[in-house]
Amino acid sequence: MYVNVAIVCEREAEDLQTELLFSYGAGNVSSEDCDGGVCLTVLTRFPNAFLTHYPDATVTPVEDWEYKWMEDYEGGVLIPGVFIKPSDKDTRIPDYVETLIELDPRDAFGDGRHPTTRLCASLMRSIYDEAVPSSVIDIGTGTGILAILAEKWGSVIVDAVDNEPLSVIKTKENCARNNCRLIQVSEGDIVKAAPERENDLVIANILTEVIEASITHIMAACKPGGRIVFSGIGRQWKGEILSFLEKHGLVVEQCLSSEGWLGIKVKR
């Protein structure tokens, strides 16, 4: 079930707190004046991601929102040449589409509209244009969009990992919906669920703090000379995260920005 998580801050701190909420995983943040300053509200299925940082936040259930937003969702372009089609809609597919992904995004993160998904897909495209990575692992797969994209673009060993049980269920359903038979879906984090294999490509669309806490495991999942694509990183952490990655011996090859989020491609 979705809930609203609301915090109150001083007006002078509104921009900083908004950026922090995005960095903790907010898809959107609404703002309105209230007693004591400004009230910032996040709509989420995972309130603990915010309550960890704001234990005094107010949590309010939101009735009937979970699937209502799907009524007006018609899909769209993920990146040039890639189109996301809702599985329950008769959306017209543009003629220029090279890769079509049919998706049911309910119950998990990832309908193709979030900037971090687009950033990952763009960085993946640059890698696949150079050479198709044979083995891929998608950490924090959500609905499975990026793992499905990897198989459709030619990768033959693909793992999708998520610590949310509903995401695992939804990814399996979406893989079947797209006739993707190579993807192995596992429940758990990078430590518990990832296979003991070095991959040509690691995709990690997860929060900055998770990247920092798991960097040794993420690197261990990548072959020397392989690539890692990171997103889920708020723009305000750019200097910190780039320095952090370089200190761990990773070579930053590309850094993209969109709507307050970063996507980073590195070489191990």
Stretch (H or E) spanning 48: helix 48-51
Whether 139 and 221 share a structural domain: yes
**Residue 93: CATH number of its domain:** 3.40.50.150
Task: Give the separation between CA 235 and CA 262, rounded to whole angstroms.
Answer: 6
> What is the full per-residue pLDDT of the chain (268 aa) written as tens digits?
678 899 999 988 888 888 888 878 776 788 889 887 999 998 887 888 899 999 999 998 876 545 554 556 667 889 999 999 887 667 778 788 899 999 876 654 566 778 899 999 999 999 999 999 999 999 999 889 999 999 999 999 999 999 888 889 999 999 999 999 999 999 988 877 777 889 999 999 988 888 999 999 999 999 999 999 999 898 888 999 999 999 999 999 999 999 889 999 999 9
Nearest one of 131, 139, 118 to 214, comparing CA atoms: 139
Number of domains in the chain: 2
pLDDT (0 to 100) of residue 174: 94
**Residue 41: CATH number of its domain:** 3.30.70
pLDDT (0 to 100) of residue 43: 80
> Is the Cβ–Cβ distance between 230 and 212 less than 8 Å?
no
Whether 142 and 261 share a structural domain: yes
Question: The domain containing residue 224 runs over which residues?
Answer: 70-267
Whether 75 and 49 share a structural domain: no
Whether 126 and 148 share a structural domain: yes
Stretch (H or E) spanning 245: helix 238-247
Last residue of a domain, one of 32, 63, 94: 63
Whether 84 and 15 share a structural domain: no
Last residue of a domain, one of 63, 82, 107: 63
This prediction's pTM: 0.77
pLDDT (0 to 100) of residue 30: 84
Whether 13 and 84 share a structural domain: no
Task: Give the separation between CA 228 and CA 264, rounded to whole angstroms.
Answer: 8
